[in-house]
Amino acid sequence: MSLLTLHTIATTPEKSKKLLQSSINDFGWIPNQSGYMSESPSLLAAYQRAHDLFIDSSLNEEEKAVVWITTGIENGCNYTIQAHSYIAIHNGVDKKTVKALIEKTDDLSPRLLALREFTREVIYCRGQLKRSAIDLFLSRGFSKQSMLDVVLGVSQKNMSTILNSIAGTEIDDKFKLDEL
């Protein structure tokens, strides 16, 4: 049993109603993660805003998937891994790329490998990113904006992976993939 309530539009705090409605508008349903997160209208609003900003970032769909899935893997969040694998494939990312990310193989392009490693550096830096990691990332052809957009994506996913660890969020049936 979860410590948190899996809210619906009917049970969520008043300030979360519009936020959950936006999940319905975007996905066609309320993902379990949003249902739990709605207990805190402030957290749900921050998460959704960070999500929208990351969607509009300098990273392409494949690169966003690298940041999201890598953060899910490193934070041990199966919900994030599954949901963002589904979203990535739905948004045109090759299944082979998603599989390589999940299995932590080197079957990625050098650019995506560099992005995965930089994302890991951001996750584990404890607020103090090493200059050597920054220099290496920039030397691989990424921009300063992309570097900061990775920070945004990891921050967004940290909100949800922590929430999911508290709630024990179960993957939505619609996010389940038969196979990669």
pLDDT band at 105 (very low <50, low <70, confident <90, very high): confident
Q: What is the pLDDT of residue 27?
A: 87
For the cut 80, the answer to whether the pLDDT of residue 2 exceeds it is no
Give the pLDDT of residue 97. 97
Q: Is the per-residue pLDDT at 43 higher than 80?
A: yes
Cα–Cα distance between 31 and 45 in angstroms, integer? 15
Q: What is the pLDDT of residue 177?
A: 87
Secondary structure of residue 144 in the 3-state scheme: helix
Task: Establish if 180 belongs to a structural domain.
Answer: no
pLDDT in tens, 10-41: 999 999 999 999 999 988 999 999 999 999 99
What is the CA angle 82-87-91, rounded to 5?
150
Look at residue 160 and tell me if it is in a domain.
Answer: yes
Give pLDDT tens digits for 138-152.
999 999 999 999 999
Q: Quick check: is 5 in a domain? A: no
What CATH number should be reported for the domain holding residue 90?
A: 1.20.1290.10
Distance (Å, rounded) from C-alpha 107 to C-alpha 18?
42
Q: Considering the chain, what is the average pLDDT of its residues?
A: 96
Residue 8 included in any domain: no
In a domain, 56, yes or no: yes
Domain that holds residue 166: 14-174
Give the pLDDT confidence score for residue 9 in this predicted structure.
96
Closest to 37 in 3D by CA, of 79, 95, 90: 79
- The distance between the two most distant Cα atoms of the chain, rounded to a whole number of Å, is 51
DSSP letter assigned to residue 130: -
State the Cα–Cα distance between residues 21 and 48, nearest whole angstrom.
12
- Mean pLDDT of the 44-63 span: 98
Distance (Å, whole) CA 171 – CA 148: 29
- Whether 180 shows a pLDDT value over 80: the answer reads no
The answer to the question of residue 97 being in a domain is yes
User: Considering the domain boundaries, does residue 156 fall inside one?
Assistant: yes
> Domains in the chain: how many in total?
1
Res 50 pLDDT > 80: yes
Q: Is the CB of residue 98 less than 8 Å from the CB of residue 112?
A: no
In the chain, pLDDT over 70 holds for what percent of residues?
A: 99
Q: Residue 145: inside a domain, yes or no?
A: yes
This prediction's pTM: 0.95
Residues 157-175 pLDDT 10s: 999 999 999 999 999 999 9
Mean pLDDT along residues 73-91: 97
